């Protein structure tokens, strides 16, 4: 059985992620101890809350260094979810500018209603007369740009659950795994090597979300 370390930086609902991972047939191991990552087959970095607070915790506890070591040096697969995906970037601007894990060449910026310029933007705008509200809350479609193991068996354009005000803006377009049509289109999933990130919450996205997590466990 796969052991999945779920990184607990004290700010998020690790319980939901743990239940979903167990539902997907893996052994979930919620931990805030960097040493535990050495025993993990894969790592999940979940998260809600503020970028700066989460990075403070990750750096102070040594988790940031341990994640980098296991993922970059040892090639352990990593899934970042929501804030966890944003933490993969170089820097975040929420509250104050803060360095991220730097695993994906990207920045984290606020969603702008009707805005454009996100890499991978579809150009589509919201076709309803309702303004685009921030936070982006609810179910929205996810359009993969290339085949990837974590999206195996999931139809293109399937709806996943989002709840966020910031998004990841990639500097290298080849890191953009999927986009979502909101605020001019933003990057809703990233992939680089054995690293994947989803802006949406697979653990809260019913059947498609659990399928994605099962795919990650099997990856």
DSSP string, 144-185: ESS--GGGTT--TTEEEEEEESEEEEESSGGGEEEEE-STT-
Q: Is 12 in the site for other proteins (CB under 8 A)?
A: yes
- Residue 87 has what DSSP assignment? T
Each residue 73-112 as x (binds other proteins by CB under 8 A) or -, in order, gives ----------x-----------x-----------------
Q: CB nearer to other proteins: give 138 or 193.
A: 138
Smallest distance from other proteins to CB 195, Å: 23
Instruction: Say which residue the tokens 């609902």 belong to.
Output: 13
Q: Is 219 in the site for other proteins (CB under 8 A)?
A: no
Q: Is 161 in the site for other proteins (CB under 8 A)?
A: yes
Token representation of residue 183: 């605020």
From 9-17, 65-73, 171-179, 184-192, give the range in contact with other proteins by CB under 8 A: 9-17
Q: How far apart are CA 146 and CA 176, in angstroms?
A: 9
Work out which of 7, 21, 71, 140 binds other proteins, going by CB under 8 A: 140
Smallest distance from other proteins to CB 21, Å: 12
- Residue 107 has what DSSP assignment? E
Instruction: Say which residue the tokens 């040493």 belong to.
Output: 35
φ and ψ of 171, to 5 deg: -85, -25
Q: Is 49 in the site for other proteins (CB under 8 A)?
A: yes
φ and ψ of 203, to 5 deg: -70, -10
Applying CB under 8 A, which residues contact other proteins?
Answer: 11-16, 19-20, 23, 48-50, 53, 83, 95, 113, 126-128, 130-141, 159, 161, 163-165, 181-182, 201, 203-207, 209-210
């Amino acid at each position: 059985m796969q052991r999945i370390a779920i990184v607990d930086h004290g700010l998020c609902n690790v319980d939901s992620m743990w239940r979903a991972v167990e539902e997907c047939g893996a052994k979930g191991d919620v931990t805030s101890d960097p040493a535990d990552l050495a025993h993990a087959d894969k790592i999940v970095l979940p998260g809600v809350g503020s970028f700066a607070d989460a990075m403070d915790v990750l750096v102070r506890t040594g988790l940031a260094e341990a994640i980098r070591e296991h993922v970059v040096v040892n090639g352990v697969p990593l899934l970042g979810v929501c804030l966890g995906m944003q933490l993969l970037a170089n820097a975040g601007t929420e509250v104050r500018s803060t360095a991220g894990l730097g695993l994906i060449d990207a920045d984290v910026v606020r969603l702008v209603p009707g805005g454009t310029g996100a890499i991978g933007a579809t150009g589509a705008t919201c076709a309803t007369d309702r303004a685009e509200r921030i936070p982006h809350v609810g179910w929205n479609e996810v359009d993969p740009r290339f085949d990837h193991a974590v999206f195996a068996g999931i139809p293109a354009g399937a709806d996943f659950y989002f709840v966020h005000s910031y998004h990841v803006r990639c500097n290298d377009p080849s890191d953009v795994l999927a986009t979502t049509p909101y605020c001019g289109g933003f990057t809703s999933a990233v992939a680089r090597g054995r690293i994947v990130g989803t802006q949406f919450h697979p653990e809260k996205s019913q059947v498609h979300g659990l399928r994605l997590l099962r795919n990650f466990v099997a990856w």
